Structure 1
Amino acid sequence: MSDVRDEAEPRPGEPGQPGGSPDPAPEADGPGPDRVDDAADSPPDPAAVAPAGLGGADLPPRPEIGVGRDGRRLGWVEFAVGAVVYVLVQLGAGVVLVAANGRLPGAPVLLGVSAVAAFAAVAVALALRVRAPSAIGIRRIAPRTVVFAVGLGIGVWLLSRLLIIVYVSITGDRSDPQQDLTQFSGVGAAFWMVLLGGLVVPLGEELLFRGVGYGSMRRYGPVIATIVSSLVFALAHGLNVVFLAVLVLAVLNAVLYERTRSIWPCFATHAAFNMCSFVVLLLLT
């Protein structure tokens, strides 16, 4: 007769019985030494983690370009309105000044008009729907990134000397609508030239062409945004000897804006580029 055992009766050698293996430890809530923490090994969310900034600076989580805090996004309306206001202010101011004086005013006044046109265009475009300075890149950035951008601006200015030679050798065109900016005299005029042309105008143009222009086109991807905003920026300076140099500066600043999500590195590069020209001009006069 076979020996029948109750299925619930423990057998020798089973865990918890003499001669058997010890009871397995209860599974801990956290990861044990042989477990993999999925959260730790999973790749970070690209939308929540920023890459290292230019020049080695670490950036905060990357915000979206051209988008306000309430989710409103810059678009074709802001792009078109900004362009129209920019052109109309300059044309209107030019007509008034010529009518009043019988000729174009001096370089400091022309630079002042250009600055007013840029800031007015930005103000009107931003007031339409978005109404958030962060949508045009007004946000803090690591100081070392700004310093790095200044070096880039100087490098682009040096490259521009070669690009001007290439442009003239290919086209034979030596025209430069910005030649009027070199017509000034006196310490006071030189001061306003450097202040307006080296600082105020670059800031206004970066807010307009990168903040509004690039930000409006960013919905179509960084490549389209770079091409459109850079071409518009270069054409706004005219088809002349500085066209290629200005185009290179615009592309570089589009990359900087995409990388840092701040307008300040773009301003630093642009200001350094202009300052180099004014320093050379002042040394030669």
Structure 2
Amino acid sequence: MPAGFYARPPVPQAARMALCWNGPVGWTGRTVAWLLLVAGLAALAYGSRLSEGKPPEDALYRYETAIGGIVIYLILLAVVLWIGRGLPKRDFLALRPPGSWGRALGLALGGYVAIFIGAGLIIVGLDAGDEQGLTPEDWDSSRLGPYAANFVAVALVGPVVEELTYRGAGMTLLGRFGAAVAVVVTALGFGLGHGLVLALPALVFFGLVTALLRLRTDSVYPSMLVHCAFNATSLIVAVAV
């Protein structure tokens, strides 16, 4: 991981976060709403896993999987925007460019590598590779259309909305309690939101790295880039090897 990855966030970030503690709703209401949202997502994820088990082996070869996933992500985004109503989205969701794109891309590359190595070792060590059961084992060229639709849902829409939810809104709201609290709580929420047990440590590790990336760059864009790249790589490798 690049040097300085764990350093304190720049001072301007704290000033921007202060915007959330003013206004008609107040920071307490927004933070509670966000925590309830994250808890609800985790409950739904684990409830679905317990009642339905793994998704079908050909889930990513079905259009309904992509459509359903995108609809759910859009609903999630709408709730996040509702929580941040009345606040500048640029500040609430950290939708601002990093101070230096060169530095941000370097940190993003370091985070990408760290996730692949760290999460990969965790998954192998815990034998959690097949727990999610989403990626297909074989490539079916006759079903390119639905796979492409699911690629957009999993490698673009999903990562963008999840980053806005956890590293955007979550980091901003919890930043009042300190960087460490914001990083740890958003990472745990992100991990639990996937409804997995064996792979939970790997997902939390993913959340920690992307949260630190958000912290170091004062922007959600680098973590979005890492998340999209990771999911895209996973989907490509799954059918290419």
TM-score past 0.5 threshold: yes
Per the alignment, residue 68 of structure 1 pairs with 19
Distance verdict in 2 for CA 1:221–1:125, change over 3 Å: same
User: 1:123 corresponds to which residue?
Assistant: 81
1:161 aligns with 2:120: yes
| TM superposition shift of 1:230 | 1.1
Separation in 2, partners of 1:145, 1:74: 34
Spell out the pairing of 1:194-273 with structure 2 (5 A cutoff). Answer: 194-273=151-230
Of 75, 93, 109 in structure 1, the residue corresponding to residue 67 of structure 2 is 109
Q: Which one is further off, 76-85 or 201-210?
A: 76-85
Cα distance between partner residues in 2 of 1:62 and 1:119: 26
Do 1:112 and 1:196's aligned partners in 2 also have CA atoms closer than 8 Å? yes
Distance 1:268 1:85, change over 3 A: same
Measure the CA separation in 2 of the matches of 1:241 and 1:83: 23
Going from structure 1 to structure 2, the CA distance change for 1:75 and 1:60 (only over 3 Å counts) comes to: closer
Contact in 2 for aligned 1:53/1:145 (Cα 8 Å): no
Shift of 1:233: 0.9
Matched, 1:80 2:37: no
Cα 1:175–1:283 change in 2 (3 A) is closer
Q: How has the CA–CA distance of structure 1 residues 70 and 84 changed in structure 2, closer, same or farther, with 3 Å as cutoff?
A: closer
Note the 1:33-72 alignment, pairs <5 A. 62-64=12-14, 66-68=17-19
SS in 2 for 1:139: coil
**Equivalences, count:** 212
Call closer, same or farther: CA 1:145–1:238 in 2, change over 3 Å: farther
Pairwise CA distance, 1:114: 3.8
| Gaps in structure 2 of 5+ consecutive residues | 49-55
Larger Rg: 1
**Mapped contact 1:74–1:215 kept (Cα < 8 A):** no
Farther off after superposition, 153-162 or 73-82: 73-82
Structure having the larger proportion of residues in helix: 2
Deviation per residue, 1:220-253 (Å, 9 max, x gap): 1111111211111111112333312211111112
- Mapped partners of 1:182, 1:109: distance in 2: 18
After superposition, the Cα gap between the structure-2 partners of 1:264 and 1:215, relative to the gap in structure 1 and judged at 3 Å, is: same
Distance 2:21 2:177 in 1: 20
Kindly tell me: are residues 207 and 239 of structure 1, through their superposed partners in 2, closer, same or farther at Cα, counting changes over 3 Å? same
What is the aligned counterpart of 1:193 among 150, 172, 192?
Answer: 150
Q: CA offsets, 1:231-281, max 9 Å, x none?
A: 111111123333122111111122122221111111112112212211111
Q: C-alpha distance in 2, partners of 1:181/1:107?
A: 12
What runs of 5+ residues in structure 1 fail to find an aligned partner?
A: 1-51, 96-102
TM-score w.r.t. the length of structure 2 is 0.72
- Partner AA of 1:163 in structure 2: I
Deviations 1:105-152 (A, max 9, x none): 74323431342133122211111x434431221101233244321442
Q: Which amino acid aligns with 1:107?
A: T
Distance of aligned partners of 1:206 and 1:67 in 2 relative to their CA distance in 1, 3 Å threshold? farther
Q: Distance in 1 between matches of 2:103 and 2:153?
A: 23
SS in 2 for 1:67: helix
- Alpha carbons of structure 1 residues 151 and 76: separation in structure 2 relative to 1, 3 Å: same
Counterpart CA distance in 2 for 1:136 and 1:212 is 5
